[in-house]
Amino acid sequence: MVGSVVLFAFALSVFIIAATQVAGTETLSGVTKLVGIAALFAYPRAGPGVWFLWGKADAARQAG
């Protein structure tokens, strides 16, 4: 039981961190941010991983 709660808390915190990073990215337009956050909600397990592996690096590359 405790392990399930810890795992859920970890997954929730990773999801929240990814959503706030998508929302705070200056290189993305408003519509793109909305689509990114919608994708996180549509794929709550895979979405944050995709953001941390590809989206975040791509946004940083576009910034300069």
Question: Does the structure show a pLDDT above 90 at 59?
Answer: no
Q: Indicate the domain borders of the chain.
A: 2-63
Q: Judge residue 21's burial from the number of C-beta atoms within 10 Å of its C-beta, 0-12 exposed, 13-18 middle, 19 or more buried.
A: middle
Give per-residue pLDDT as tens, 36-52.
999 999 998 899 998 88
Question: Residue 20 corresponds to which tokens in the numbers above?
Answer: 């706030």
Question: Does the structure show a pLDDT above 80 at 63?
Answer: no
Q: Is-above-0.85 flag for pTM?
A: no
Per-residue CA distances from 29 to 6, 11, 34, 61 (Å): 35, 27, 9, 15
Q: Which amino acid, one-letter code, is at 62?
A: Q
Q: Judge residue 33's burial from the number of C-beta atoms within 10 Å of its C-beta, 0-12 exposed, 13-18 middle, 19 or more buried.
A: middle
